[in-house]
Amino acid sequence: MSYRLDSDILQPYGTFKEIRPLPQKAALDSYIAQFGRDHTFFAKNKTKLAAWFVSNCNTAVNREGYVEELKKYISVDIYGRCGHLKCQQKQPDNCLNIVDNDYKFYLAFENSLSLDYVTEKMFKVMDKNVIPVTLASNQRLPLPKHSIIDATKFSPQDLASYLKEIDANDALYAEYHWWKSFYRIEKGNKVNNFCQLCQKLNDPRDPPKTYQSMQKWWVNDANCSKWSQNRIIKASPWPM
């Protein structure tokens, strides 16, 4: 039971639930472009570019190094222990409201680049009027097309250039919000996950399953990576 898509029992931090039929695949790109032109209000009243809320300042993936390089080219406001800005966390939604109201982009950078590892960092802002910029191994996840910006595909300088391009074009910014009338976000439900586990353990029709090496499946196959020297490189697996 884990967040890995190949787990016997999937325990994700969130999922996307389709709530209405999607446009035909062949017409989806045209739909997204037209949606952007018709919904430029998503960028209205936003005065700041990018925000990052972070408390762990030294990670194995070196996300902090990526952000330091990114800051050479664009403004990134850092909240929490690793920055100089604060929000009133006594009010649970205050931090998210700041992002929703003021910022165009939110850095949802994970502390580990491990296969399928995507936490609430991304899901908690997906329904806000902000574009998540992820540093995560989310390529296998069933995300709506054109709903996030994957920082692993950019150098910090190239990412900065792309964010500037979107910032300057309200239609391009709106395109990243097209999916919100077709999907809703459902948070992970640990109670349901444990119910599935109990069901499997007590169902005689469910055949036993054995993993010959948890080191191979959980660690070696996770393809852990980190950011170093302006690129994503493979990290050495740790022993279990």
Which amino acid is it at 92? P
Q: What angle do CA 203, 12, 132 make, to 5 degrees?
A: 165
Q: What is this structure's pTM?
A: 0.89
Determine, yes or no, domain membership for 238. no
Determine, yes or no, domain membership for 18. no
Determine, yes or no, domain membership for 51. yes
Number of domains, the chain = 1
Determine, yes or no, domain membership for 64. yes
E strands, the chain, in order: 14-18, 48-53, 76-79, 103-109, 131-135, 149-150, 183-187, 225-228, 231-234
Determine, yes or no, domain membership for 131. yes
pLDDT tens string, the chain, 240 residues long: the values are 888 888 888 888 899 999 999 999 899 999 999 999 999 999 999 999 999 999 999 998 999 999 999 999 999 999 999 999 988 766 767 889 999 999 999 999 999 888 888 988 899 999 999 999 999 988 888 899 999 999 999 999 999 999 999 999 999 999 999 999 999 998 887 778 889 889 888 888 888 888 888 888 878 787 788 888 777 777 665 554
Best CA proximity match to 71, nearest among 51, 47, 87: 51
Domain range enclosing 116: 32-187
